Structure 1
Amino acid sequence: MKLFDTGDVRLHYRVDGPDDGAPVVFANSLGTDMRLWDPILPLLPKGLRIIRFDKRGHGLSTCPPAPYSMGALVSDTEKLMDFLGVKDSVFVGLSIGGMIAQGLATKRLDLIRAMVLSNTAAKIGTPEMWADRIKAVQENGIESLADAIMERWFAADFRATPELELWRNMVTRQENDGYAGCSAAISGTDFYTPTAGLRLPCLGIAGSEDGSTPPDLVRETVDLIPGSKFHIIRKTGHLPCVENPVEYAQVLTDFLKSVGHV
């Protein structure tokens, strides 16, 4: 376990694989930590330099007072990648992680040569919707939202398994300020115009049962980028890397090969 001090926050990060491996950076969703990617990592090609981190207010990173801006989350990621000497990565972002990917690609294209926008969009939800969630977290804690979050995150088959409790626990043990802070960042973000200006290889991944970012929303975003690819993983929700890691890893591997990253 390692910490990097950005000057504003201390980020928990982890690097796996050889120092000279092709870098793949993973950014996880609201309410999860870097363990989100554990199911797919053993299924990826050997020799990659895998970089994961907990965004501010999540996992083992420090939790500044809410609210946060998307610019701050992008800057955190940029500083970590510069610290690690990462250039020309493939950046895989899920949900808010995919928003961070879009913002970072717009700001620092030298850091990202291709990106995967998984279960995300240029704009997610409405300010009113996010305000309601932030209020609920601040007044009653994340526990008050946990069951509704599980319904959006996972298809019915997965919700019937014992593993669901692990992910529910992960959510409820996040700090309220971290969840509320990142919710505010999502609420204030609309990347349609900057994302439409991007020119880099892009893969969109959606879950057919995703209640947070439905497939049409994901497709609408990746279609902003000329030449992008799109893939739906059936019978999965907002976290298809958890529900169907085999297909997710295969689709990601095929994309890495198509852009010459392995």
Structure 2
Amino acid sequence: MQIAELGDVRLHYRVDGDPDGAPVVFANSLGTDLRLWDPILPHLPDGLRLIRYDKRGHGLSSLPAAPYSMGSLVRDVEALLDHLGARDCMFVGLSIGGMIAQGLAVKRLDLVRAVVLSNTGAKIGTPEMWQERIAAVNAQGIEALADGIMERWFSKDFRAKPELALWRNMLVRQPAEGYAGCSAAISGTDFYTPTSGLRLPALGIAGSEDGSTPPDLVRETVDLIPGSRFHLIRRAGHLPCVEQPEEYARVLTEFLRETGHI
């Protein structure tokens, strides 16, 4: 485990694979930590520098006072990649991580050569919806929302498995202030215009049973980028890297090869 001191935040990060390999950066969803990507790592090819991190207010990273802005989340990973000397990364972002991917690509094309926008949107939900969720978390904690979140995150089949408890526990053990802070960042973000100006290789990944970012939203977002492609993973919800890790890794590996990253 490593910590990067980045001014107003300390980010927990982990680097696996080949330290001299082409960098692939993973940004996870609201309410999860970097272990979200554990299921796909064994299925990825050798020779890659795999960089994962906990965004502010999540996992083992520090907990600055909420609310957060999307700009601060983008600056965090920008500073982390500068700290690590990582350039020309493939950036894989899921949900809020996909928003961070869009924001970083717009800001720093020297850092991002290709993006995977997974289970995300240029805009997710409405400010009113997010304000209701923030109020509920602040008043009752994440536990009060956990069962509804599991329904949006996972397919019916997966919700019947014992493994569901692992992901529910991960969710409810995140700091409520961090969850609320990142919810505020999503609430204030509309990337339709900046994302439509991107010109880089892009892959959209969606889950057929995603109750948080439905496939049409993911397709609409990735279609903003000319030449992008889209892949639908069936029998999966908001976290297809958990439910269908082999397919997720296969599609990602194909994209890495297509873009010359491996």
Q: TM-score scaled by structure 2? A: 1.00
For residue 213 of structure 1, what is the aligned residue in structure 2?
213
Distance (whole Å) between structure 1 residues aligned to residue 250 and residue 193 of structure 2: 31
Secondary structure, counterpart of 1:91 in structure 2: strand
Identity %: 77
TM-superposition CA deviations, 1:60-85 (whole Å, max 9, x none): 00111110000000000000000000
Distance (whole Å) between structure 2 residues aligned to residue 190 and residue 210 of structure 1: 20
- Whichever residue aligns with residue 8 of structure 2, its letter is D
Secondary structure, counterpart of 2:158 in structure 1: helix
Q: Deviating runs (4+, > 4 A) in structure 1? A: none
For residue 24 of structure 1, what is the aligned residue in structure 2?
24
For residue 83 of structure 1, what is the aligned residue in structure 2?
83
- Whichever residue aligns with residue 181 of structure 1, its letter is G
What CA RMSD, in Å, does the superposition of the two structures yield over aligned residues?
A: 0.4
Q: What's the CA shift for 1:19?
A: 2.0
Distance (whole Å) between structure 2 residues aligned to residue 47 and residue 214 of structure 1: 33
Distance (whole Å) between structure 1 residues aligned to residue 212 and residue 17 of structure 2: 32
Q: Which runs of 5+ in 2 are unaligned?
A: none
Distance (whole Å) between structure 1 residues aligned to residue 39 and residue 235 of structure 2: 17
For residue 147 of structure 1, what is the aligned residue in structure 2?
147
TM-superposition CA deviations, 1:113-147 (whole Å, max 9, x none): 00100000000000000000000000000000000
Q: What's the CA shift for 1:18?
A: 1.9
Q: Which runs of 5+ in 1 are unaligned?
A: none
Secondary structure, counterpart of 1:251 in structure 2: helix
Distance (whole Å) between structure 2 residues aligned to residue 19 and residue 46 of structure 1: 11
Distance (whole Å) between structure 2 residues aligned to residue 130 and residue 120 of structure 1: 15
For residue 95 of structure 1, what is the aligned residue in structure 2?
95
Contact persistence 2:18–2:46 (CA under 8 A): no
- Whichever residue aligns with residue 149 of structure 1, its letter is I
Q: TM-score scaled by structure 1? A: 1.00
Q: What's the CA shift for 1:86?
A: 0.6
- Whichever residue aligns with residue 103 of structure 1, its letter is G
- Whichever residue aligns with residue 41 of structure 1, its letter is L
Q: How does 1:199-238 map to 2 (within 5 A)?
A: 199-238=199-238
Distance (whole Å) between structure 2 residues aligned to residue 9 and residue 182 of structure 1: 14
